[in-house]
Structure 1
Amino acid sequence: MASTAAQNAKAYVACVPHVPIISMQEREQNPGLWQAYDASVAEFEAFDPDVVIVFGGDHYSHIHLKLAPTFMVGHLAEAGDDCGGTPGKLNVPMDLSTGLAEALIDDGFDIATSYAMKVDHGFSNVLGFFLRGDIGARPVIPVHINSLSKPRPTLKRCRQLGEAVGRWARSTGKRVAFLGSGGLSHETAFIFPQYETAPNEEVRTFIVHGGGAGPISDQQWHGDIESEMIKLSADLVSGEFKVPWINKKWDESFLKTLEAGDLSAFDSWTDKDILEAAGYGGGEVRMWLAAVAAGQQAGAQPLRVDYYSEDTTIAVGVGVAHSQLVAA
């Protein structure tokens, strides 16, 4: 039975990484991370949301450069079987997802929508852990934020998106959990290049059109990524390789600012500065920012950072944060 605090809570927020390597290694490799992660999952379950809104992003799995929306709400969605992901159909409540999209339009967002949304580990990794491997177990609305390819939205606009989602969520009277998926500092450019930095025309064709348009099939693309992740994971566990791209100072600055609660402080953070300090993967903090902004508007308790480490075996600066369940 849920505690009184969980029953009184109006909304819940949790922000966690989605790096594929997290699914490949034994938990004993990073015990502090899993202690904090498991605590967030337990609080999520105690909160017992009516609906989950997950802010995530694609990695050239299903969204390609021929048409790359900045923000998108899924009305029907399915997770593919990519490296680090949990495949299956998402249980999207269409009455709520369409209501959210309409509210965002009214709030000034020219939001993209999809009735055939496919997501990768940027959504399904987090859902797999919070929903205990069954990503269709609870009603879920996926909200895509582009952090992979330019032009990326400003942090100010991501904050405003989250706030608009949170206002709508509060108006429904439902218990809503917001999940922010990704981050913190890490580099992805070597595996998910920009159009102008693609190593050859074959890769460029794939990231624009996807498999089938050129010599690289979807199966080959995902197979190559999985092979790279397996090798990287093994090298990190053995100590043969230590990633050079984690920026502890930047990560801690982001987390401190996020925890302080004045999210407008991020409005001056530029994409260029983020890329230089935190790598192309660091741009995924947009999902955290949107989730926390949504939680603030929906009535969640203040965010608390439970864990951070720059010294892990999963290739990212790892943070776990959630809103505490305290009595109203």
Structure 2
Amino acid sequence: MSAYLQCLSHTPLVGHVDPLPAVLAEVDGVVADARQRIAQFDPELVILFAPDHYNGFFYDVMPSFCLGMAAEAIGDFGTAAGPLSVPRELAEACATAVLDAGVDIAVSYRMQVDHGFAQPLELLLGGLDRCPVIPVFINAVAAPLPSFKRARLLGEAIGRFAKSLNKRVLLLGSGGLSHQPPVPELAKVDARMADRLMGSGRDLPAAERDARQQRVILAAQRFVEDPHTLHPLNPEWDQQFLDTLAQGRLAELDELSNDNLSALAGKSTHEVKTWVAACAALSAFGPYQASDRYYRPIPEWIAGYGALTAQSSV
């Protein structure tokens, strides 16, 4: 029974709008080191906390949290497509344990996931199906959003379940730090886009999906040229957030409202709740020691990009 945590920013823009080669090499080194450490840990089960970007979850039914009993990656922005290796009975037991702990969570036997899930599995494990994985969706873009407190309680409940297993469990948190790419908002879009957000965007024609991706790429190019075209990155807040996680002070984030987080660091910064849930899951194993911290603001990826590793210290 042991747990290992790796939090890592994801970005759909890698390979499309990249920083200088030296920065790219630096990030590649961070990822390679993390991959090596995970290989040494040799996980028997992965629990992956990640968001969605209106690719698998829509306003026809928008849960705050959803646990996948089966999952398929769509392969957006050139990431891997195909099924995740979800251990169904174990995922069902996890969902039951979370509900018994008083945390409401939806379940899906046909979960559709995007780069937020696929990229960390590719980068850190070598593919979607290299290890049994329980995917846990946390809504980070579609208002109304869950709070930091609910994400923390979700993580703690999943961590207690993971601790009950006689397995080496890898806890992954996937999300950007400060950032606000051009994600549509239901209250601000026309009728056609509203229909997409309400569910018709689940199976986009290839041409429309490509056009959507090109809009994000163009927005990144403009942001590099003029940082006022999008919400600015906030390295100061990002570093404070990393301090909070590294020091295990997760409950202090409970008081930070969703509106204040959006104003401080951008509307997609709510993806950091995946990091909070992952760290909270690790905390169920006891006090932890953080290490291998990395941070750099990367405007080419419209993100404060970071990584954090931790292990139980008991």
Verify same fold: TM over 0.5: yes
Which residue of 1 is the match for residue 120 of structure 2? Answer: 126
Task: Tell me the residue number matched to 2:11.
Answer: 19
Q: Does residue 37 of structure 1 match 2:31?
A: yes
Tell me which of 226, 236, 243 is aligned to 1:249: 236
Q: Structure 2 CA distance, aligned partners of 1:41 and 1:259?
A: 20
Q: Which amino acid aligns with 2:72?
A: E
Partner of 2:148: 155
Query: 1:203 and 1:88, CA in 2 relative to 1: closer, same or farther beyond 3 A?
Result: same
In 2, Cα distance between the equivalents of 1:297 and 1:31? 35
Matched, 1:194 2:185: yes
Q: Hey, what's the Cα distance between the residues in 2 that align with 1:300 and 1:207?
A: 41
User: Do the aligned residues in 2 keep the contact of 1:312 with 1:318 (CA within 8 Å)?
Assistant: no
Partners of 2:7 and 2:173 within 8 A in 1: yes
Query: Number of residue pairs matched?
Result: 310
1:182 aligns with 2:175: yes
Q: Check 1:235–1:64 CA distance in 2 against 1; reply closer, same or farther (3 A cut).
A: same
Match of 1:164 among 157, 169, 173: 157
Supply the distance in 2 between the matched residues of 1:312 and 1:302 (Cα, whole angstroms).
30
Runs of 5+ unmatched residues, structure 2:
none
**Aligned residue in 2 for 1:219:** 206
Q: Is residue 2:199 matched to residue 1:209?
A: yes
From 139, 142, 145, give the equivalent of 2:138.
145
Structure 1 spans left out of the alignment, 5+ residues: 1-8
Which has the larger displacement, 309-318 or 217-226? 217-226
Question: Is 1:89 matched up with 2:83?
Answer: yes
Which structure 2 residues correspond to residues 298-313 of structure 1 after superposition, within 5 A?
298-299=285-286, 301-304=288-291, 306-311=293-298, 313=300
8 Å contact 2:5–2:170 — kept in the other structure? yes
Secondary structure at 1:288 match in 2 = helix
Q: Does 1:320 align with 2:307?
A: yes
C-alpha separation between the residues in 2 aligned to 1:144 and 1:106? 19
Per the alignment, residue 4 of structure 1 pairs with none
Deviation at 1:52, TM superposition (A): 0.3
Distance 1:124 1:105 in 2: 26
| TM-score in terms of structure 2 length | 0.91
- In the TM superposition, residue 22 of structure 1 has moved relative to its aligned partner by 2.5
**Displacement after TM superposition at 1:152 (Å):** 0.6
Q: Percent identity?
A: 34
- Report the 3-state secondary structure (helix = DSSP H, G, I; strand = E; otherwise coil) of the residue aligned with 1:150: coil
CA contact (8 A) 1:76 1:90 kept: yes
The structure carrying a bigger strand percent of its residues is: 2
Structure 1: how far apart are the matches of 2:259 and 2:68? 29
TM-score by length of 1: 0.88
Query: CA–CA distance in 2 between the matches of 1:314 and 1:123?
Result: 17
Match of 1:46 in 2: 40
AA in 2 matched with 1:308: Y
1-side partners of 2:287 and 2:81: how far apart?
Answer: 29
Q: Deviations over 1:255-314 (max 9, x none)?
A: 111111121111111101111011111110000000011112135842235211124532
Q: Deviations over 1:212-235 (max 9, x none)?
A: 8xxx94434421232134435556
Q: Deviations over 1:1-49 (max 9, x none)?
A: xxxxxxxx81111111111013444864433322222211111111011
Match of 2:102 in 1: 108
One-letter amino acid of the counterpart of residue 205, structure 1 = D
Question: Using a 3 Å threshold, how does the CA distance of structure 1 residues 300 and 47 change in structure 2: closer, same or farther?
Answer: farther
1:75 to 65, 69, 72: 69
Report if the CA contact (8 A) 1:52-1:178 is conserved: yes
Q: Distance in 1 between matches of 2:270 and 2:94?
A: 25
